[in-house]
Structure 1
Amino acid sequence: MASADHGKGKRWQVRYRDASGRQKKENFARRGEADARAAVVETDLNRGQYVDPREQRITFKEYAERWRQMQPHRGGTAANVERCLRLHAYPVFGDRRLVSIRPSEIQAWVTGLVEVRCFTAQTARNSAAKVKQVFNAAVRDGVVQRSPCAGVKLPSVPHTEIVPLTAGQVGDLASVVPHRYRALVILGAGTGLRPGELFGLQVKHIDFTGRTVKVEQQLQRVPGGKGVHVCPPKTRRSHRRVPLSGIVATSLKEHLDNFPAHGQDFLFRNERGEPIHSSRFYEQIWRPAIAKVELPKGTGPHALRHSYASLLIAAGESVKVVAERLGHTNAAMTLNVYSHLFPESEDRTRAAVDTAFGALAAECAPDVPSQSED
């Protein structure tokens, strides 16, 4: 229960206990101000909406940094979140009190990312998502009553269909990359592993007898520094065993004959025998290769994964199997990316219905009386 009475120094004082039971005191010069504050505090406490006055003074940057450092983000994600907030959000909202930021200001910022700073719609949405996470956490902590991100309209992302590499293009890439990376290109297109999963493979993960590759880790660059580190795959479903075709297995055997490695050794290493990571591979190996075979400039190593998915779909594999091979969280994700590659099924649907109900259609056909001869 909040109460207002005459406090020390002839000032009016509001005393109450917050949601955690700690006693709070606030002083006012006039009784009317104290009574009004006491009523607000009591109402907020009863509704579970009380916010400590000290928390109301915290800035967006102060709270966002506190939130960011507590998140269980992996290296790459942590670096991405830090960079996004530092470059895109803090220059606009960093010094503002968290409770003072209004929905209209968030809307203007998001719109400006596209129309003024010329960000792509997807980049603007990603930036907005991180700011929204900060405010959602602030709501859960009781620092703000509601998020100003609620109801903000985000730019729509144009639909683009994945155009997978053909088998010929994969072959061309394998022929122009340095010899030590040819098997990596073939393995990527023949198993659909993500780039980080490819770089994280050790010899022990290849089962030539059972003709499978085990995915249980990935290799990522150390955020903000040099070197790499081993970390778990992207999601729980990313832990998987992927079949090795004969062509892929032969390519890996030839690779190990030319670049011997054993047990805990990484399967793919640079000229100095060191593990490699995606950014260096992209700049030094991949970009020159796609230029040589005249592929579009934006084609990334992920294109090998798309090529694998398209091969499975063309071979008639179900959505469930494709999702399992790719390590997707669920089949819906697979359909969202590759739905345009699945063959049209209208004719199969019609044929299935006609087959199932063909006999019924014959039974329901109207009887036509036979004509007698005159």
Structure 2
Amino acid sequence: MSVRKRAWTTSAGEEREAYVVQYSIPELDKRGKRKRVIKTFDRKKDAEAFHAQVRVDLGKGTHVPASKSPTVAEAGRNWIDACADLERTTRDGYEQHLRDHINPYLGGLKLSALTVATVRDWQDKLRKGAPAPGRSEASVRSADMVKRVTGSLGSLLADAQERGHVGQNVVRSLKANRKRGKERRAERRAKGKLKLGVDIPTPLEVEALLRAADARWRPFLLVAIRCGLRASELRGLRWQDVDLKKGELRVHQRADAYNEIGRPKSESGDRTIPIPPTTLRVLKEWKLKCPRDSNEAQHFVFPNGLGKVEFHANIITRGLIPTMIAAGITAPATDKTGKPTRDEGGNPVLTAKYTGLHALRHFFASWCINRKVDGGLELPLKIVSERLGHSNIAITADRYGHLFPRADDSAELAAAEGKFG
């Protein structure tokens, strides 16, 4: 196995040179001898990097020659087929990553040709909005989108590695996947923490929202705010999982984006949550007039007018946003450039300040965490994590840890110091 420089003259009289890596693989040719593989590179450092990697892969018995390596697009189809048992929405997300972000740039490349440098160059093009080969334009991808599609590429390569189609998963070699210490802390600082009045509705805003809610949406909003269910869990909630005598509900299933019923997001998602008195009273009244489909096996708590699972988009556009606007919880609407939009009279156009149901779940978390003197429940971290249905307590701590009462509160310190002064 070696790296050598080759120079030659073309039929047109042009001087050319390249760096050649030549090696043998265990597979035998027709004469019973080990097959020889020759690969050329324009740059010496690329040839040397390939040479070093092939040596390692041959030693491990994981090397796949280019002739037997499928393209990224072909490996992507195998990966999507292997995701058949996943939720439909998850599978659709992977297909969208493959179709819009991976295949246009990398689809024609052999897996064996993928390097860390290739993947880094692809990430840079996504961030900058550089168009893929053969296309004239492309949009800039956010840092979060680049991170997610890179994760999808890593899963694709892991599947191909298990099939013996590629020797290594280059995504796992990216420096971004090895962030430690200061880099991770800097990334968290850049992302920012959830802020009251920005990401989390204030108590006054929540009160205004509930006052403005009509009879159709008040029960839904109360359960979202006081029980902290995810949107999918609210849409899949059944009356048989609500115990009006004990004053508690059990999250046992959820509805996905296609209104298909399935298990909760994680094992911890299957949980029991107490229902506060006011919310319980409103639910009892709502049950008497809640629509029900006579042909539906499940009696949903918050169905559409026909008693079937309500679409998430309808809840947002017909329930949450109109109620927010009616309550005066608004913010100036902006265009794609971030500039405020105005109507024909030149007046600022207002839209709902919080346009997603997850803001209400954030409020529930902050309500559970806040001190009793501030109107909260002051629950321990473990209890908060259980009520939110997080798969582990670390998720709750990372997301909401900064909201917990400070142990070094100045007033409490002064009082404690006085006892020993």
Same fold (TM over 0.5): yes
CA pair 328-159 structure 1, distance change in 2 beyond 3 A: same
Show CA shifts across 1:10-67 (max 9, x none): xxxx996xxxxxxx65348xx8x84679xx99996762324376641x1111111211
Tell me the distance in 1 between the aligned counterparts of 2:143 and 2:56.
Answer: 42
Aligned residue-pair number: 326
- RMSD over aligned Cα atoms: 3.3
> What does residue 104 of structure 1 align with?
117
Residue matched to 1:343: 405
Q: Provide the C-alpha distance between the structure 1 equivalents of 2:288 and 2:164, rounded to a whole number of angstroms.
A: 61
Residues 158 and 41 of structure 1: CA distance in aligned 2, closer, same or farther (over 3 Å) = closer
Q: Give the structure 2 partner of residue 5 of structure 1.
A: none
What corresponds to 1:26 in structure 2? 29
Name the stretch that deviates more: 62-71 or 143-152.
143-152
Whose helix fraction is larger, Structure 1's or Structure 2's?
1
Q: Give the partner amino acid of 1:288.
A: P
SS for the counterpart of 1:221 is coil
Question: In the alignment, is residue 92 of structure 1 matched against residue 125 of structure 2?
Answer: no
Which structure has the larger Rg? Answer: 1
- The Cα shift of 1:250 comes to 0.7
* SS of equivalent to 1:214: strand
1:69 to 77, 81, 85: 81
Matches of 2:174 and 2:118, distance apart in 1:
12
* 2:346 equivalent in structure 1: none
Q: Which residue identity lines up with residue 215 of structure 1 in the other structure? A: V
| 2:66–2:113 contact (8 Å) kept in structure 1 | no
Runs of 5+ in structure 2 lacking a partner? Answer: 1-23, 39-52, 130-138, 178-182, 332-352, 371-376
Rounded to whole Å, the distance in 2 between the matches of 1:298 and 1:125 is: 25
Q: 1:99 to 1:280 in 2, by over 3 A?
A: farther
Q: 1:217 to 1:35 in 2, by over 3 A?
A: closer
Aligned pairs for 1:155-234 (under 5 A) are: 156=187, 158-163=191-196, 164-222=200-258, 228-234=259-265
Q: Does the 8 A contact of 2:316 with 2:355 survive in 1?
A: no
Deviation per residue, 1:213-242 (Å, 9 max, x gap)? 0001001122xxxxx210100000000000
* Residue of structure 1 aligned with 2:329, choices 294, 309, 314: 294
For residues 168-226 of structure 1, give each alpha carbon's deviation from its aligned partner in whole angstroms, at most 9, with x where no partner exists.
3223333445532210100010100001000101110110111110001001122xxxx
SS at match of 2:191: coil
| CA pair 176-47 structure 1, distance change in 2 beyond 3 A | same
Q: Is the 8 A contact 1:180 1:268 kept in 2?
A: no
Q: Tell me whether 1:147 sits opposite 2:209 in the alignment.
A: no
Counterpart of 2:300 in structure 1 is 266
Output one character per residue of 1:294-334: Cα deviation in whole Å (capped at 9) or x when no partner.
34545310111111111110122111000000001111110
The alignment status of 1:304 with 2:360, answered yes or no, reads: yes
Equivalent residue, structure 2, for 1:280: 314
CA distance in 2: counterparts of 1:152 and 1:44, whole angstroms: 21
Go from structure 1 to structure 2 and tell me whether the alpha carbon gap of 1:50 and 1:288 turns closer, same or farther (over 3 Å shift).
Answer: same
The one-letter amino acid paired with 1:151 is L
Under a length normalisation based on structure 1, what TM-score does the superposition of the two structures give?
0.77
The answer on whether the counterparts of 1:52 and 1:143 sit within 8 Å (CA) in structure 2 is no
Secondary structure class of the residue paired with 1:89: helix
Identity of aligned residues (%): 24
In 1: Cα distance, 2:119 partner to 2:54 partner: 28
For structure 1, the 5+ residue unaligned runs are: 1-13, 17-23, 223-227, 363-374
